[in-house]
Amino acid sequence: MTRGKIVKSIAREVLGSRGVEVWSRLELIGDIAVIKKPIKTSLTLEDFKALGEALARKIPGVKSVWLAVSPVASPYKTRSYVHLAGEERAWTIYREHGCSFKVDITRVFVTPRLGYEHLRVASLTGRGEVVVNMFAGVGVFSIVIAKISKPRAVHSIDINVDAYNLMVENVKINGVEDIVIPHLGDAARVVEEKLVGVADRVLMPLPDLALEYAPYALKALKGPRGFIHFYLHMGMDKKREFLGKAVDIVKSKVESLGWSIPNANSRVVRKVGPGLAQVAVDALVEKTG
């Protein structure tokens, strides 16, 4: 049975016919399970607590269950939660691609749904490269790249002090102190002050700011050529024309800044809402003139 079907079947057992109102998505982050509160629901907090108790009992390895009661919000991309069952503990160790990450789901952004994307970008990163990750969170992307691709350095920036502190711990936990360099602050300011002209590759895993901060990604690049991974939110259409549109949007932004894009690919990273996708645009950029 898929995880979604398990949630649905437990919801039916606990809540009877009202169980249909429960969303099937359940995120497992280490030993913490997260379910989402539907925007409109007749279910009470007591109903969700009863469901949480059953999930903690029936899903192997789950020690704590939380209800996400708000969408992900800027600037730190965190959500509000209510504890439902099990240990009242929001921190856990999340594992991905052989690396371990200390996270606190109430204070930092983390989702297992980016796992494949981390691996994909790591596989594109060359040995000895210098990478700048402008929106690094607790360092998952940066540390997976450091472990898998053996870059020379990954400069890892985040503005959220809790994410930065956990990133510093995670760098130690994974033994990549000689590669991953955490920076606390606004990515634009950190690039301007410390990272102009250092990078072969720049990551911008924050759709809210990827286009606005494009000038700083370009400034971080070492030479007249480099790679930038842009992430955008795009409305989806049946013919998948949005993938081409995402490339066009990035191209016109980069061209307006005096650079060109000789080569770019785009792909859906994950669905983030009804008809809405997070799209990655991998761009080879070149300074014009």
By CB under 6 A, name the binding residues for ligand SAM. 75-77, 109-110, 114, 135-137, 140-141, 157-160, 163, 186-187, 205-206, 209
For the record, the structure tokens of 228 come out as: 């930038």
For the record, the structure tokens of 14 come out as: 């606990």
Q: Do 154 and 163 form a contact (C-beta atoms < 8 A)?
A: no
According to DSSP, the residues that pair with 221 across neighbouring strands are 199
Nearer to ligand SAM, 109 or 230 (CB): 109
- The CA angle 82-87-92, to the nearest 5 degrees, is 85
Please, what is the minimum distance in Å from the beta carbon of residue 43 to ligand SAM? 29
Please, what is the minimum distance in Å from the beta carbon of residue 59 to ligand SAM? 23
Nearer to ligand SAM, 67 or 103 (CB): 103
Nearer to ligand SAM, 266 or 278 (CB): 278
Please, what is the minimum distance in Å from the beta carbon of residue 243 to ligand SAM? 20
Please, what is the minimum distance in Å from the beta carbon of residue 268 to ligand SAM? 16
Nearer to ligand SAM, 55 or 209 (CB): 209
Nearer to ligand SAM, 22 or 92 (CB): 92
Please, what is the minimum distance in Å from the beta carbon of residue 36 to ligand SAM? 17
For residue 288, what are the CA distances in angstroms to 213, 223, 260?
19, 12, 6
Q: Which of 245, 247, 278, 243 is nearest to 261 (CA)?
A: 247
Q: Which of 56, 70, 69 is nearest to 28 (CA)?
A: 56
Please, what is the minimum distance in Å from the beta carbon of residue 76 to ligand SAM? 4
Q: What is the β-pairing status of strands 259-273 and 180-184?
A: unpaired
Phi, psi of 132 (to 5 degrees): -115, 120
Nearer to ligand SAM, 12 or 185 (CB): 185
Find where tokens 């989402």 sit. Answer: 36
Please, what is the minimum distance in Å from the beta carbon of residue 141 to ligand SAM? 4
Nearer to ligand SAM, 146 or 209 (CB): 209
